[in-house]
Structure formats: C-alpha cells, structure tokens
Amino acid sequence: MTTSTAAARSQFRTMVWMALFWSALTLGFDAMSGWGSFRQLRALSYSTTAGRITSATVETISGSGGRHGSGTTYRPRLTYTYSVAGKDYQGDRYRYSEWSGSGRNAHGIVAAHPVGSHVSVYYAPADPADAVLMAGLEGFDYFVPLFMLPFNLIMLFFWIQVGGGIYRRRFFTPVSGVKVWDDGFSFRARLTMRPLYVGAIVVGALAVPAIFIVAFGFSFNPPVPVMRVVWRVILGGGLLAWLYHLLNVLRGGYDLVIDGVGATVTLPRTFGRKESLVVPAGQIHGVEIDRLQVGQASAYIPTLVFTDGEGPLRREKLAKWSSKGRARELAAWLRERLGIAPAKSLSE
C-alpha cells in the first residue's frame, strides 16, 4: 500500500466517524424537536373543554452569571383545572416541548392567563389527563428547524463525502468523479458542483444570519408570520440559486471543452472569467497544480499554463479540490488528452 493510499483511507475513516458523531447529535435533536411539533399538531384534533386558571407565574432559569446573570431565560408556569365526563382534572402544561426564552414572552403569556380566567383546554380523548392550553404551532416550532438547518446541511455534506468515497472505491472514476462526454470529435468535462449543492449552500448561507436576526430581534418564539416570511426568503433564495446554476450548466457555461478538430481548449466561465476562454492547443505549455493554504486547510487547483499570442505565460485556474489526489487525477487526464508531458509545479 502506497503512502498516498494509506493517507486516503485514513481520511476516509475519519470522515465516516465525523459523519456518525455529527449525525447522532443532530438527528437526536431533530427527533426531539420534531416529536414536540408533531404532538402540537396532533393536539389540534383533541377534544376541548372549559377550564379555569388557578396559578400563573414566571419561572426564572438562571444563566451562568447568577440568578439574573448572562443567559438567564424565563418560562411561563400555569396550572388549571377542568372537567371531563364529570371528573375533575388539574393540568400544568401550557404546550408540548416547553421552551424558555425572553421575559417578555413569558410575562406576556402569564398576563394573558390571569388567575381565575376561563380558558379552553385541549385534552386527549383516550387520556383526559393529557392536556395542553396551546394547540398547533408557534413561532418556536418554526425557529428550531431554522436553528438546526445549518447543522443538518453539514451532516448531509459529511454523508455526501462518505458516499462519494464509497462510490469511487467500488466504481472506476478516471477523472476525479467529473462528468465527461466524448462524442468522437471533442471531450467535454463539467467542472462545477451540482445545482442542488449550490442551492443547499445558499440556503445555509441565508439561514445563519437569519438565526441571529430572528433570535435577537424577536426572541426564540417569534411571531408565526415573521417566521413564514423568513422561511420563504431562505427557501426561495435556495431555489433561485439552484435554477440559475442549472441554467448555466445546461448552457455549458461550466464545461471545459477539448476540441480535437479545431485543436482548441475552451475554458469555462469560472474563477472570475466572464466569458468562455478559447486557447489554441499549440500554445498550451502544461497543466500544473497550485496549492492554496487557508489556515489549516489546503486546496489544490489544477491550472492551465499557456502563452497568449506573443505575450508571457498565463495561468488560468480550472477547478479546486480539497483532495490532492483528485486534483492530480484531473491534471493527469488533461495532460493525456492534450499530449502534454507531466510537469510538477513548485506548489504541488
């Protein structure tokens, strides 16, 4: 086993363990919040009866700085009595999946349910002791999925990487998994990510600032209309990004084309190129790999080296990989198609 193969297998095992660990945490939280939302929706079908508030207080949940220190949150505490089929019951659940948030929300709920006031109680027909005062979804039920959205997208990214690794192990992928078409006259290689991935990235990018805007502007239990607007903006932005990228893909804007008849190479509209760049094959000197270091992470960029007429050598980036092996695969494939001898760059 070569050193590069051993390193690739080690990276793959690390990715699998990261995916499993992240998924356990993320899916566990998803399951808890999803179960609470499901119970809230199910409560809409419960029977109702008249009840009366017997106590209404606000519970203070201390933060890290003492009773009223940093991170202090508040929770409404209500008790009420009600009768079903001549039998008296006492409940203390305002809603399923009780949450704690700002004092404004908690005090608002308590103020809306003063002691002695009459309320409608939702109870399960099969178990009248199972009751809530609030049925259906609140802003909190929309906010939690928003908060978890970036974590779920990261989880999907991990599993896409794992799935891609498994696929490359089981099936031969000669060009780093890049889609390649050969019509007998030219080669076409699609050097971009799938439109669905682009849409997901935009959704995540919109979700992160939205979380802070909603949390600090409206608290963890924002108005439902606000959350509906937020979700429409996020999902709509992702949909537009997906559609825009898909149209560019269908137009061939991200394709590198090696024309065997015209002896040219057409570079895609990526890496700042506004238009496709056509390079005569006779002016190409090599395909090198540049290394880009950002903090602890490295990126490997196959780069076309050529002359522009009588001018000096030009370097045009073609793709970017986090894996050196996949970058080398693409560079080797291009050299073979162009009949260029292998040449290492100093940064490779």
Phi, psi of 335 (to 5 degrees): -60, -40
- Indicate the SS3 state at residue 290: strand
Q: Look-up: residue for tokens 């505490």?
A: 77
Q: Are 94 and 123 in contact (CB under 8 A)?
A: no
Give the model's pLDDT for residue 172.
Answer: 54
Of 83, 109, 134, which closes a domain? Answer: 134
| One domain for residues 106 and 153 | no
Query: Does pLDDT of 128 surpass 50?
Result: yes
Give the model's pLDDT for residue 294.
Answer: 78
Query: Does pLDDT of 345 surpass 50?
Result: no
Distance CA 71, CA 49 (A): 37
- What average pLDDT does range 311-315 have in this prediction? 86
Phi, psi of 17 (to 5 degrees): -65, -40
Mean predicted lDDT score pLDDT of the chain: 87
Query: Does pLDDT of 30 surpass 50?
Result: yes
Query: Does pLDDT of 213 surpass 90?
Result: yes
Residue 343 located in a structural domain: no
| One domain for residues 166 and 205 | yes
Residue 178 located in a structural domain: no
Distance CA 328, CA 334 (A): 10
In this prediction the pTM is 0.79
320, 9, 348: which is closest to 178 by C-alpha? Answer: 320
Residue 227 located in a structural domain: yes
**Residues 42, 45, 46, 50: is their CA dihedral positive or negative?**
positive
Query: Does pLDDT of 348 surpass 60?
Result: no
Residue 348 located in a structural domain: no
Give the model's pLDDT for residue 66.
Answer: 47
Query: Does pLDDT of 96 surpass 80?
Result: yes
| One domain for residues 150 and 102 | no
| One domain for residues 234 and 165 | yes
Of 206, 223, 250, which closes a domain? Answer: 250
| One domain for residues 20 and 155 | yes
Query: Does pLDDT of 67 surpass 70?
Result: no
Give the model's pLDDT for residue 15.
Answer: 85
> Is residue 251 classed exposed, middle or buried when 0-12, 13-18 and 19+ CB atoms within 10 A define those classes?
exposed
| One domain for residues 147 and 21 | yes
pLDDT class of 68 with cuts at 50, 70, 90: very low
| One domain for residues 305 and 268 | yes
Residue 38 located in a structural domain: no
pLDDT tens for each residue of 154-208: 999 999 888 877 766 666 555 767 888 888 888 988 888 889 999 999 999 999 9
| One domain for residues 151 and 229 | yes
Of 250, 284, 319, which closes a domain? Answer: 250
Residue 156 located in a structural domain: yes
Q: What is the DSSP string of 140-174?
A: HHHHHHHHHHHHHHHHHHHHHHHHHHHHHHHS--T
- What average pLDDT does range 307-332 have in this prediction? 85
Domain of residue 263, CATH code: 2.30.29
Tokens of 340: 């260029």
Q: Are 306 and 313 in contact (CB under 8 A)?
A: yes
Query: Does pLDDT of 217 surpass 60?
Result: yes
Give the model's pLDDT for residue 346.
Answer: 42
Beta strand 127-132 pairing with 180-182: unpaired
The count of domains in the chain is: 3
Is the model more confident about 53 or about 348? 53
Residue 313 located in a structural domain: yes
Give the model's pLDDT for residue 7.
Answer: 66
| One domain for residues 13 and 148 | yes
| One domain for residues 227 and 302 | no
Give the model's pLDDT for residue 116.
Answer: 96
Query: Does pLDDT of 88 surpass 90?
Result: yes
Q: pLDDT above 90 covers what percent of the chain?
A: 53
> How many C-beta neighbours within 10 Å does residue 282 have?
9
> How many C-beta neighbours within 10 Å does residue 168 have?
17
Query: Does pLDDT of 71 surpass 50?
Result: yes
Give the model's pLDDT for residue 179.
Answer: 83
| One domain for residues 204 and 78 | no
Which of 60-74, 89-103, 188-202, 310-324 comes out lowest in average pLDDT?
60-74
| One domain for residues 130 and 148 | no
Which residue range forms the structural domain that includes residue 274? 255-338
- What average pLDDT does range 133-157 have in this prediction? 94
Give the model's pLDDT for residue 141.
Answer: 92
Phi, psi of 286 (to 5 degrees): 180, 170
Query: Does pLDDT of 17 surpass 60?
Result: yes
Is the model more confident about 318 or about 310? 318
Residue 42 located in a structural domain: no
Query: Does pLDDT of 64 surpass 70?
Result: no
